[in-house]
Amino acid sequence: MMYLLVAGLAATMTTALPPSGDLNALVDLSAERLLLADRVAAAKFGTDQPIDDPVREQQVLDRAAAMAAEAGLGPAETVVFFRAQIEMSKTVQRGLFDRWTRHPERAPADRPDLAADVRPRLDRITAAFIDRLAATADLRAATRRCRDLLLVAEGEADRRHRLDPLHEKALHGAIAPICAG
């Protein structure tokens, strides 16, 4: 009986406790998504597919909101967060289009498949985001502690991913809603 009680408690604890309560993994996902914007831009550059795709944006936001509700997160705040990810992805894409237009020799040689390859990867990041947003829910508030942790996580992500100024600026914008409370 005692054994069953302890085993049951341990099982509850391992599922209830978030593996990492800090903001590093969350910011890291944001950086990964912005680096994936390079692949999105490469898929569109030199084609007639525009950077802005409002239909796809709505799909991303609807799916994120549905997953957020299931995870016990507020759909409205989750949409604000994902909107920032999308806006900053477009900032990166526009910056790269500009760079590649001015320096065609720097344009990517290959054209990734947006529907078959890049968007499924973005979708996987959405699911991982929900997980991390849920794990950091207590921390994400308009507090000094949140802002301090965010600053550290941002610096680490900049370094770890060796972000250039374009991606660095985009990461700064993408993570802005995290401590908005």
Ligand X SMILES: O=C(O)C(=O)C[C@]1(C(=O)O)C=C[C@@H](O)C=C1
If one asks whether residue 57 binds ligand X (CB under 6 A), the answer comes out as yes
The sign of the dihedral angle between the CA atoms of 51, 56, 62, 67 is negative
> For ligand X, which residue has the nearest CB?
89
Shortest distance, position 181 Cβ to ligand X, whole Å: 24
Look at phi and psi of residue 140 and say left if phi exceeds 0, alpha if psi is from -120 to 50, else beta.
beta
- Measured distance CA(165)–CA(60) in Å, rounded: 26
Q: CB nearer to ligand X: give 61 or 153.
A: 61
Shortest distance, position 97 Cβ to ligand X, whole Å: 11
If one asks whether residue 157 binds ligand X (CB under 6 A), the answer comes out as no
If one asks whether residue 56 binds ligand X (CB under 6 A), the answer comes out as yes
Q: CA dist 113 to 42, 46, 99, 142, Å?
A: 9, 14, 21, 40
Among residues 22, 32, 53, 77, which is the contact residue for ligand X, using CB under 6 A?
Answer: 53
Shortest distance, position 59 Cβ to ligand X, whole Å: 8
Among residues 17, 52, 164, 180, which is the contact residue for ligand X, using CB under 6 A?
Answer: 52
Q: CB nearer to ligand X: give 53 or 158.
A: 53
Q: CA dist 96 to 13, 119, 154, 178, Å?
A: 46, 18, 22, 26
Q: What is the DSSP letter of 22?
A: S
Shortest distance, position 122 Cβ to ligand X, whole Å: 5
- Measured distance CA(167)–CA(88) in Å, rounded: 9
If one asks whether residue 130 binds ligand X (CB under 6 A), the answer comes out as no
| Site map (CB under 6 A) of ligand X, residues 29-48, x = contact | -----------x--------
If one asks whether residue 167 binds ligand X (CB under 6 A), the answer comes out as no
Which residues from 72-91 bind ligand X, rule CB under 6 A?
A: 86, 89-90
| DSSP per-residue codes, 109-120 | SS---IIIIIHH
- Measured distance CA(143)–CA(146) in Å, rounded: 5
The sign of the dihedral angle between the CA atoms of 176, 145, 76, 158 is positive
Residue ranges in contact with ligand X by CB under 6 A: 40, 52-53, 56-57, 60, 86, 89-90, 119, 122
